[in-house]
Structure 1
Amino acid sequence: MTIERDTLVERLEALAEWNDATPPSHTTTVAEMFAEAVAAHPDALALVADARDGQSVQLTYAELAQRVHQLAHHLLSRGVGAEQVVGVHLPRSAEMVVSVLAIMVAGGAFVPVDPEWPRERRAQVLGDAGAVLVVTASAGDAPLVPEVVVDLDAWAYAALPARAPAVHIEPPRLAYVMFTSGSTGRPKGAMIRHEAICNRLQWQVEKILHFGPGDAALFKAPLSFDISVNEILLPLVSGGYVVVAEPGATGTRSTCST
């Protein structure tokens, strides 16, 4: 049996496409990808979440970027620098999304610290990660590390610049640290760099999911699970929007009806 030339060529072309290992056309950083989305879609919906008073919070890209930049400026004023680790000690919320972005925009790296963890584990993660600050919802919540309190309802950083800080971040720089469950011993931190997460996001947006303006992603996983980074960032680097599920719930009336 012989294979016709045209059929063989088609099969070879298909195999080449399926096995394409060509790296992305460029590597970048989360800060750059977010800035590009803000510039392209300033008035588009970026985030939907429930506030503590039960009302829905909705932020456009421009509004979200303003808060991210203001918090980033504050973090810089507190001494956060390249690859310095900042704990995120918050329930799943709009504040969590703002904090994750602000830490990376400031050039730092975030480490999730679940408020539901035992105090000893929280202290251990912060200590092992070398955290210099921790972002939390109210003073006195987090162990050992100096705190930055973030509350969208009582935004304390409105006087700070709304523009992005002039921070140069190289793609190989650290973006975040994820700690294992510790089920087989002391938890270990996995260090994820901007080039790794950005390559993954670009691949998912361009090749797999074709995520784009108007598309929504539900942020439901705990921040200490790596998939949560996708749930937050995939929509926010592609013009879509993130819907933040209320802690302890699969969805709320406001998020499910969005």
Structure 2
Amino acid sequence: ANRGRREIEELIGFFVNTLAVRIDLSGEPSVPELLERTRRTALAAQDHQDLPFEQVVEIVQPPRALDHTPLFQVGLAWQNNTVGSLDLPGLRVEAAGEGLDQVKFDLELNLGEQGEVIAGTLGYATALFDRATIERQCGYLLALLRAMVADAGQPVGQIDILPAEERTYLLEDLNRTAADYPSDVCVHELFEAQVQRAPDAVAVVHEDETLSYGELNARANRLAHHLIGLGVRPDQPVAICLERSPAMVVGLLAILKAGGAYLPLDPAYPSGRLRQVLDDAAPHLLLCDAAGREALGAEAIADLSVVDLNTATPAWADQSADDPDPHALGLTARHLAYVIYTSGSTGTPKGVMVEHRGMVNYLCWARETYAPTSSSVVSSSLAFDATVNSLFAPLVSGGHALLTKEGDEVDGLKAEIVSPR
């Protein structure tokens, strides 16, 4: 018992010092080796213990922020100069409580000797942590200390701080995310099912124009049959470059219904970026409007079949308004729904291919998680994945998508997802 107490005190000193100085953990040190390294480092650091903290901050000049303190946000102190009581003739003085219920740092662990035990408090910023999290952290610290005392010869890096229940919680309970969803259904089939439920309900709103589910579906079907006639097949990328409008929604649905995978291009993007995506994805067909043509340039689309969705006399006006049969097209949920490109902030933009089943899985989760509201504001770029949330989630759930006018986006605007009907 005496040996355990002495080593616990040494270990507490180890933790105090590791928060003040940099400790070398290379070479897989054992517990005694790490304690010795810490002791040497702490003794060397004491040569500068009289340097005021304010002067350290002034010398280092760390970036300042209102939400955290400079240099460090976690503190650990060994309280060895506290006085429990003060006895005077005819008077007894005792400390009354712990003062203000506030912390200076994100985490503050204060420890000291109280008779035959080591006790203390762990203060935390309630804006960052909840009580359950802090209680688990206390358990980790105690488990680490006990493991060090139980086997001082073991490498520090191999100490297991998780009890069996905690390990099960982290690795199994938190990962039980399996859920049933229609994994054999395509995205547009979810939309078509909603059309059958409420064909007269409002689906899309843009400025003064409103489309019902039935109208939107009929327009998309006519264009889809036209695209099939142009040779669109499953897994084939079809580029779409339009300003935000009902025609954009019609084009997206038509590509999916025809079996293709939409390749979103934002006409507001630099032309070099758009050409880079076209060169990499190599689509044979482009759906666009005047803004899309101008953004891409004549040279970039010279070898593409171009379908102008804003033409006054569309070639597909006489096509059937019936839903294309996905089975006749050989289309399944394992075929691509869209191909979207990364920002390229760490190098060349890369295309990410998303299958129907993955998109359906996400949409089923989204409409349950974000319910209940009645509409969604579509203000993000078509080439940004947020559009999957703000546009498709309401269209498969019975709400309507409100398309903002280009340039009227509101900073910080949140997309809302409708509840199922």
Q: TM above 0.5, one fold?
A: yes
1:35 Cα deviation (Å)? 0.8
Question: Would you say 1:121 and 2:244 are equivalent positions?
Answer: no
Q: Using the aligned pairs only, state the percent identity.
A: 37
Max Rg structure: 2
1:25-36 alignment runs, 5 A limit: 25-27=181-183, 28-36=185-193
* RMSD, matched Cα: 2.1
1:204 Cα deviation (Å)? 1.8
Unaligned runs of 5+ in 1: 1-15, 51-55, 252-258
Q: The residue matched to 2:209 in structure 1 has which SS?
A: strand
CA distance in structure 1 between the partners assigned to 2:202 and 2:262 by the alignment: 25
CA contact (8 A) 1:216 1:235 kept: yes
1:19 Cα deviation (Å)? 6.4
1:5-24 alignment runs, 5 A limit: 20-24=176-180
Question: Would you say 1:242 and 2:398 are equivalent positions?
Answer: no
With CA pairs under 8 Å and 6+ residues apart, which has the higher RCO, 1 or 2? 1
Unaligned runs of 5+ in 2: 1-171, 411-421
Report the TM-score when normalising by structure 1: 0.82
Q: Report how many residues are paired.
A: 228
Q: CA offsets, 1:195-242, max 9 Å, x none?
A: 111011111223x12357xx1101110011101111110000011110
Q: Which residue does the alignment assign to 2:363?
A: 201
Q: Which residue does the alignment assign to 1:131?
A: 283
Q: The residue matched to 2:286 in structure 1 has which SS?
A: strand
Report the TM-score when normalising by structure 2: 0.51
Q: CA offsets, 1:41-92, max 9 Å, x none?
A: 1011111013xxxxx1101100000111011111111111001001111111
Q: 2:202 aligns with which of 29, 45, 48?
A: 45
Q: 1:231 aligns with which of 382, 387, 390?
A: 390
CA distance in structure 1 between the partners assigned to 2:389 and 2:245 by the alignment: 16
1:140-155 alignment runs, 5 A limit: 140-141=293-294, 142=296, 143-144=300-301, 145-151=304-310, 155=314
CA contact (8 A) 1:48 1:241 kept: yes
1:153 Cα deviation (Å)? 6.1
Q: Which residue does the alignment assign to 1:164?
A: 323
Q: Which residue does the alignment assign to 2:350?
A: 188
Q: CA offsets, 1:12-53, max 9 Å, x none?
A: xxxx99865232242121121011010011011111013xxx
CA distance in structure 1 between the partners assigned to 2:182 and 2:344 by the alignment: 36
1:93 Cα deviation (Å)? 1.2
CA distance in structure 1 between the partners assigned to 2:233 and 2:321 by the alignment: 19
Question: Would you say 1:63 and 2:219 are equivalent positions?
Answer: no
Q: The residue matched to 2:220 in structure 1 has which SS?
A: helix
CA contact (8 A) 2:366 2:389 kept: no
